[in-house]
Amino acid sequence: MTTLFTSHRLGGLTLPNRVVMAPMSRVRAAAGGLATPSMATYYAQRATAGLIVSEGVQPSLIGQSNPGTPGLHTDEQVAAWRPVTEAVHANGGRIFAQLMHGGRVSHADTTGLRPVAPSAVPAVGEVFTATGPKPAPVPRALETAEVPEQAGSYARAARRAVDAGFDGVELHGANGYLISQFLSSNANLRTDGYGGSVANRIRFAVEAAAATVEAVGADRTGIRLSPGGTFWGVEEADVPELYAALLAELAQLRLAYVHLEATADEEVLVALRRAWPGTLVVNPVLPMGPKQTGRHDAEHWLGLGADLISFGRAFIANPDLVERLRGGLPIAPVDESTYYQGGDAGYLTYPTHQYAA
């Protein structure tokens, strides 16, 4: 019988359990997008996860969404990440870098560059800048000849990730960021080979994944998706058809895994489980929604065929989440006021479970 605590083979890795630490923005990077000693401690504290997926890491300067986020596009950033991956490995863990190109969810005040996107359609809402939230700007629509360069940025960052000691990478194809914008039917108004039909709208995602596979290997490449998600104002027409077509193309690349968020009806997600021949990671509750993933949600999705279960917020306040789940111990609440405030408070200050004497 498969449980959360059964091992699983993922590419070249053997995961000791099926608990995945989901990627979560913590905006604790130093100037220049550099990882810090505190980040090494933070991830090492959570190394009992079967797999850690890092916070979103920008693959290029123009791909940076928020201030205070780390990158993987300079030699200095690679060097800064090495103590992080070494600390995770020293504690017996495994870690993938999530590669996140923000696309239109960015601001010139953050990068010094006008954001780029499939079309000149702004995101809905305010984006973070160093001086506070500001309305999302109108991005510059990429010329057709420029699109492969942006797809290739994931592959270049993936090479740097492996050089920095990461065990693999996850392409952030979810939550309204660049890959998600290309999948969208309202953020992507293109009339060339990257827009319009389902086959065209999935093209960017497939090209980014294919380039990454060529760069670091299929067993080191995963992708996160949010079928039907509406983050930052994206909409997707024909969700079942769109994602069935995308998974069919990705299956040919033999990716290490697909990571699905619970942004669509369970029926749709179960159909995608049947359509995907490889390892499936499921995040069972809506990201940033009112509920945190618990053991019941995890076991429900294992029963529906998921191979691995990702936990987000529960990992912030519970560095020993695997042990708490295994022992049926209380899950500590998270202090949301410390999410994006910087510093070690609400980052390194959550204790492991204290047993009564």
* Catalytic positions: 177
d(CA 281, CA 273): 10
Residues 6+ apart with CB under 8 A from 161: 57, 72, 81, 97, 99, 168, 169, 216
Pairing of strands 221-225, 168-173: parallel
Q: Which two tokens stand for residue 57?
A: 């890491």
**Mutual orientation of helices 239-253 and 266-275 as an angle, nearest 10°?**
30
Q: Which two tokens stand for residue 4?
A: 């959360």
> Letter for the amino acid at 83?
P
Q: Which two tokens stand for residue 121?
A: 């359609």
Burial class from Cβ neighbours inside 10 Å (0-12, 13-18, 19+) for residue 247 reads buried
Q: Which two tokens stand for residue 246?
A: 């995308």
Name the CA dihedral angle for 187, 191, 193, 196, rounded to a multiple of 10 degrees. Answer: 60
Burial class from Cβ neighbours inside 10 Å (0-12, 13-18, 19+) for residue 31 reads exposed
d(CA 119, CA 96): 30
Question: Which DSSP letter does residue 144 get?
Answer: G
Minimal CA–CA distance to 40: which of 93, 106, 115, 118? 93
Question: Which DSSP letter does residue 5 get?
Answer: T
Beta bridge partners of residue 172, listed in sequence order: 224
Q: 3-class SS at 149? A: helix
d(CA 132, CA 60): 22
Residues 6+ apart with CB under 8 A from 166: 54, 81, 85, 95, 96, 97
